[in-house]
Structure 1
């Protein structure tokens, strides 16, 4: 199977898109390997950091896409994940909490302008101060807005949807391991799944297979999106890898752990591996896998 469209790629095949040492040659290496793995379009993902660092990294990817047609063929845009996310433990995930910011149009404009028209998707937390105004501002510029790393209430999610929110990023992750048994972000988002595209990381680590199977039954077929959330380990295997300055350990089962092994930091599983496991572990047929890994994510990009 090929033609995958991956909306969340932090790095690939030894390359970290959040590195300040990122070169055109490194981006070419990652793009060529993704193409070899059947990916026809991806969004390099720049995660929370100091604003100046995020601006540099967004600009670096945009520069490479403008300079190399081979990169532009694979890089369909840029996903900016943060810094307008929840700073709370668990919800902030592997993002540095000290770099999280309230949402302002001024900061959003700096990030978007750095991409020179290539920022296609922004993940933020609807409960963050200023997020409604920023969501409207981004949507007015045809940028898809997703919620994520968030503990938004039902009311806050609905308000964000009214402002243009159309997606939720890697449901079941970017949240604490223990939450209220009923009123939690997973249940809230599932209750609104007719209104949102919802992405999932299908590696068996971020969400156990039995739970992922339950979630997939709750979401309309046209709203399910599979993402890798890949880091530089993707396509390589166990070892130690960098992600935006932090060290990530990938174990023999391809689980990518942040320091301390308290939570995951991205993913080491490729899209073909996820497609194979969706088929073997959850008995998902090829037509649905194609919809979730190609058709639905492409619809997200076409709506941007």
Structure 2
């Protein structure tokens, strides 16, 4: 692989550290960053997920302050990814996010969270159908934020309208949606039909998307429009056990992805970027393309926000 290193645009936690923990310390963030560096990651975006707006505000502000305290974290933390709270609260689409805290998109809320991050939000995932007239999408795009659709079910026309307003990305295609959907007119097919206009994120752990389906997606998406992400939580790289994600217990069984107890719903991944690269190799992706998927394309997106 290239010495350029990998870039992960969606990391909820790593090596035992939950980035959505209100009590995270600078030492915690440094520990997670060093663990990612050992796994070849050069830059990453800590991701704050849906909760009450004051809690999201607090978590973002805390992370922004902690990231500035150490040379390693200053170098590796390339900003922040806000995932929510403007998400589709329907079962399946809401995924691991608490539905009671999802809400319609609001420029005022966006301003609050942007201020908490001191201008360091790089990506914001929202549901286009929860953004009336795409007003918040247009506002965020005007602020230099990369707006990504995710945990959503917009019609094709709504998706196109959002793209016209500034939407650039799609967050973890094939996830944040129900197990069963319309056989033809569904969010996966709509996004793939617009793959030339969107930068599409994919989780290549073999659990979120079966590898044969991932292979199909990659054949349809232009090489320059793919960004592979771990969507990692605190369990990443540690194996089976019980971990925390934003105040909730998540269980990782041997050979499985993290799941909430009871529901069995996926809750991020326990994967590392090297593990995903092995999966990509197993479906025939060459090293140059893997570097684009796992580093070059994401790096280009980040550089465009500076």
Instruction: Tell me the TM-score normalized by structure 1.
Output: 0.98
Checking the alignment, whether the CA contact within 8 Å between 1:84 and 1:131 is kept in structure 2 is: no
| Structure 2 residue aligned with 1:294 | 295
2:162 is paired with a residue whose SS is helix
Counterparts of 1:219-234 in structure 2, within 5 Å, are: 219-234=221-236
Asked if 1:139 is matched to 2:165, the reply is no
Instruction: Tell me the TM-score normalized by structure 2.
Output: 0.97
| Structure 1 residue aligned with 2:127 | 125
Q: How many residues align?
A: 303
Residue 261 of structure 1: how far off its partner (Å): 4.4
Please identify runs of 4+ aligned residues in structure 1 that moved more than 6 A: none
Checking the alignment, whether the CA contact within 8 Å between 2:21 and 2:246 is kept in structure 1 is: yes
Take 1:187 and 1:130, find their aligned partners in 2: how far apart are those partners? 23
Asked if 1:59 is matched to 2:56, the reply is no
Residue 283 of structure 1: how far off its partner (Å): 1.4
2:128 is paired with a residue whose SS is coil
Take 2:152 and 2:133, find their aligned partners in 1: how far apart are those partners? 12
Take 1:125 and 1:250, find their aligned partners in 2: how far apart are those partners? 28
Take 2:112 and 2:71, find their aligned partners in 1: how far apart are those partners? 25
| Structure 2 residue aligned with 1:160 | 162
Deviations 1:110-164 (A, max 9, x none): 0110000111100000000436111111111111000000001100000000000
Moved more, 293-302 or 90-99: 293-302
Residue 235 of structure 1: how far off its partner (Å): 1.4
Checking the alignment, whether the CA contact within 8 Å between 1:77 and 1:119 is kept in structure 2 is: yes
Counterparts of 1:151-190 in structure 2, within 5 Å, are: 151-190=153-192
Q: Which runs of 5+ in 2 are unaligned?
A: none
Q: Which runs of 5+ in 1 are unaligned?
A: none
Counterparts of 1:204-215 in structure 2, within 5 Å, are: 204-215=206-217
Deviations 1:89-118 (A, max 9, x none): 000001000000111110000011000011
Q: CA RMSD of the aligned region, Å? A: 1.0
